[in-house]
Amino acid sequence: MSALPAPAPAPSRWDRVRAPLVTIGGLGLATLALHLRDPHVGGSWGICPSAAMGFWCPGCGGLRAVNDLTHGEFVSAASSNLLLVVLMPLAVLALAVWTLDRWRGRNRRLPRRLVVVGGWALLGAAGLFMLLRNTPAAPWLAP
C-alpha cells in the first residue's frame, strides 16, 4: 500500500498578506516621493512623451494630481487629472478589500465576465477622457 503524500501546510498570514502589503508600501513610497519632489516644476520628473508630441494622454497630469492630493488641494488635483481623482477611491477600496481578504485567508475570484466588462469600461472611459481633453469640447480637462 502506498501512503498518500502529506498535504502542504497552509500559508501563514504573513505569506498571505505579503503581496498586498508590498504593493501598498510601494505605492506609499511613490506617493511620498511625489509629495517631496514637486512635479509642477518643469522637468522635475522628466518629460512626458505624449505632451512632447502635442497631445494629452489619460495619465497626463497624474503626478501633479497626486502631489496636489498629498497637500489637500482637491480642486487643483481634479484640474490636473480628473480621471485619476475619480478612480483613486476605487483603487484604494480595491487594495483594502484585497488586503482584508488575504488577511482572512479568503481568495476572492471575480467572475471573468465582470473583469472583461470592467476592463473594457475602464479603457472606454480613458479613451473618452483622452479624446475630450484634446478637443475644444472640454478644454478644462487638459492638465
pLDDT tens, residue by residue, 81-107: 999 999 999 999 999 999 999 999 998
Query: How far is residue 50's CA from residue 59's CA, in Å, rounded to a whole number?
Result: 10
- Measure the CA dihedral 119/123/128/134, to 10°: 160
Q: What is the pLDDT of residue 4?
A: 75
Determine the residue type at 46: G
Give the domain ranges of the chain.
14-39+54-141
Q: Give the three-class secondary structure for 50.
A: helix
Q: Write out pLDDT tens, residues 33-57.
A: 999 999 999 888 988 888 889 999 9
